[in-house]
Amino acid sequence: MLLLTLLACLSPAPTPRAVAERTVEVVDLVEGNNAFAMDLYQWSAAHDDGNLFFSPFSITSALGMTRAGASGETAAAMDEVLHIGLPADVFHQNLGALTTDLNGDLNRGYTLRIANALFGQRGLPFAEDFLAITADDYGAPFETLDFAGDPAGARSHINGWVEEQTDGVLPAVIPEGAVTDETRLALANAITFEASWRTKFRRSATDDQPFYTPDGAVTVPMMTEDEVPVRHTGGVTYDVLAMPYEGDEVSLVVVLPYETDGLAAVEASLDLAALGEMIDGATETEETVTLPRFTLRHTLRLTQALTDLGMGIAFDEARADFTAMGPDDLYMQEALHQAWVQVDEEGTKAAASTIVLMAGKGAEPYFRADHPFLFLIRDDLTGSVLFMGRVVDPSVEG
């Protein structure tokens, strides 16, 4: 007993929550992000009848940095889609504070790592105010790359950054061909999460059982544990279970329709604010819980989703206004998101990344003479060729 007491004394105390109070600004920020999350979920559910998984926090972080460079109608459209009700500076400050509050291994029973970064075209004059917001509020360092001269290398570099930040589970968020010689800026977010259950499932109790899909039953490993501390409450058409991770600050919430084919109806009527009130009002109890063990990887068609939700102007080369970024000819070329999750007897691991690619409007064609070529010196008035030759090896004089 003495040894346990000494070990408890030596264990580092959890870092106190910096955002411990639900201020008006924090409530507005969280409610807006949750509303955006529900919009994205319902869009995805309408366009994909399979498994879904994404991180609205990651997407909001990347788009928040992008919003810092938007002006005029483009900024207004982003505010509407992202449900931003705060003044821009207050939004950036509070999202930054929440990110700082959550970020790192803080001895809270879970680890959440959040990284942001900007990769800009070498030599372009990005605005100091824009870089200050992304650095101060989002903790995003700025690095220059040569998108124009080496788009494949730039893509590889950014994918490498994401792979490193996500412990190798997201190695290729940017697909081949997405970065072009017209890309001028990439705004990147990566987020990883790891937590153990407060009450772990015994692996010996996991066995193969049926899971009833719309296409019929499939057999999967089902985890079962008795006397699990949970918050369990019911709605009109569904059950809600909140199962806490170690530290009691984060939970897995499962919304289970009463009917085996009732998910579509629940999705159509789900209100995250009402769901949160149900969970907060539920009494903690102990129950036997059975969940499938699963691993998901999902790529969200974010460009199409954002366009359909009302942010099309940001992707419109002729109308987009991102002049606050510095270069006056930028528009959103592509928005990319990929996420991964693993739920097993020990707990949950998850990772996600969002990349926003900005391109230059009517970017000048890039000409790179890096292989043998013919050349001539010509009198343009008469067309007379004055000199003519070729370069096979410019390192040789002769």
Tokens encoding 217: 């039953």
Q: CATH 3.30.497.10 spans which residues of the chain?
A: 14-196+295-360
Beta-carbon count within 10 A of 175 CB: 13
Beta-carbon count within 10 A of 222 CB: 17
Amino acid at 160: G
pLDDT band at 311 (very low <50, low <70, confident <90, very high): very high
Q: How far apart are CA 274 and CA 276, in angstroms?
A: 5
Q: What percentage of the chain reaches a pLDDT higher than 90?
A: 51
Beta-carbon count within 10 A of 362 CB: 9
pLDDT band at 146 (very low <50, low <70, confident <90, very high): very high
Tokens encoding 144: 């220059």
Q: Which tens digit of pLDDT belongs to each residue from 2-19?
A: 233 333 334 466 666 666
Mean pLDDT throughout 314-338? 94
Class of domain 207-292: mainly beta
Over the range 154-168, which residues count as b (16 or more CB within 10 Å of their CB) and which as e?
Answer: bbebbbebbbebbee
Tokens encoding 170: 């997201």
Domain 14-196+295-360 has CATH 3.30.497.10: yes
Say what the pLDDT of residue 371 is: 55
Mean pLDDT throughout 85-92? 96
Contact 162, 179 (CB under 8 A): no
pTM above 0.85, yes or no: yes
pLDDT band at 238 (very low <50, low <70, confident <90, very high): confident
Say what the pLDDT of residue 365 is: 43
Q: CATH 2.30.39.10 spans which residues of the chain?
A: 207-292
Q: Of residues 218 and 302, which shows the higher confidence score? A: 302
Over the range 251-273, which residues count as b (16 or more CB within 10 Å of their CB) and which as e?
Answer: bbeebebeeeeeeeebbeebebe
Q: Which tens digit of pLDDT belongs to each residue from 240-289?
A: 888 888 988 888 888 888 888 888 888 888 888 888 888 888 888 899 88
Mean pLDDT throughout 323-352? 92
Q: Which tens digit of pLDDT belongs to each residue from 163-215?
A: 999 999 999 999 999 999 999 999 999 999 898 999 999 999 999 988 888 88
Q: How far apart are CA 232 and CA 367, in angstroms?
A: 63
Q: How far apart are CA 292 and CA 38, in angstroms?
A: 24
The length of the chain in residues reads: 398
Q: How far apart are CA 235 and CA 239, in angstroms?
A: 6
Say what the pLDDT of residue 21 is: 67
Tokens encoding 380: 């343009």
Q: CB under 8 Å to 268, separation ≥6 — which residues? A: 42
Longest dimension (CA), the chain: 99
pLDDT band at 396 (very low <50, low <70, confident <90, very high): low
Whether the predicted pLDDT of 49 surpasses 60: yes
Mean pLDDT throughout 227-248? 87
Average pLDDT, the chain: 86
